[in-house]
Amino acid sequence: MGVRLVENQRAVGVSFILAGLLGGVFARSLTVAVMNYAAIQDLVVVGVAVSTFIGVVAGIVTLAVLFRNQRATGFTDSVVSELARVTWPTREETFGNTGIVIGATVFFATLLSTYDLLWAKLTGLFLYTTG
């Protein structure tokens, strides 16, 4: 199995570094949560908390696994290449589309609140009459 060349090395590296950081933060948070649930105090050894050490190790392991995995590298490279080919909307198009979405949201919210008010009046008229 040959080594696949990576066209977007910088983008792949940055995304893997971010994934390693997220993996480390997740592992540290999970460790703290488990320690709190089990009523175990987070020990500090040589100025570093055990949960932080576990998070750093998990981040480094995540980073190493991602860099060595050819499928992950190839997939990330393909994603970056495809995103480079996307035609992104201009600023004016984005503002115009946002205005349409906000206008439609306000219109339908008003319509639904009117229906709700009418329905409440009708049900109050027929269901809660004393006679």
- Has residue 1 got a pLDDT over 50? no
* Residue tagged 């009046």 (tokens): 121
- Has residue 8 got a pLDDT over 90? no
pLDDT in tens, 13-54: 899 999 999 999 999 999 999 999 999 888 888 888 899 999
According to the model, what pLDDT value does residue 129 have? 66
According to the model, what pLDDT value does residue 96 have? 95
- Has residue 126 got a pLDDT over 90? no
Write down the number of H helices and E strands in the chain: 4, 2
According to the model, what pLDDT value does residue 43 have? 86
pTM above 0.75, yes or no: no
Q: How many angstroms from the chain centroid is the CA of residue 52?
A: 23
CA–CA gap between residue 29 and residue 35 (Å, rounded): 10
Percentage of the chain beyond pLDDT 70 is 93
Q: Is the dihedral of CA 66, 71, 74, 80 positive or negative?
A: negative
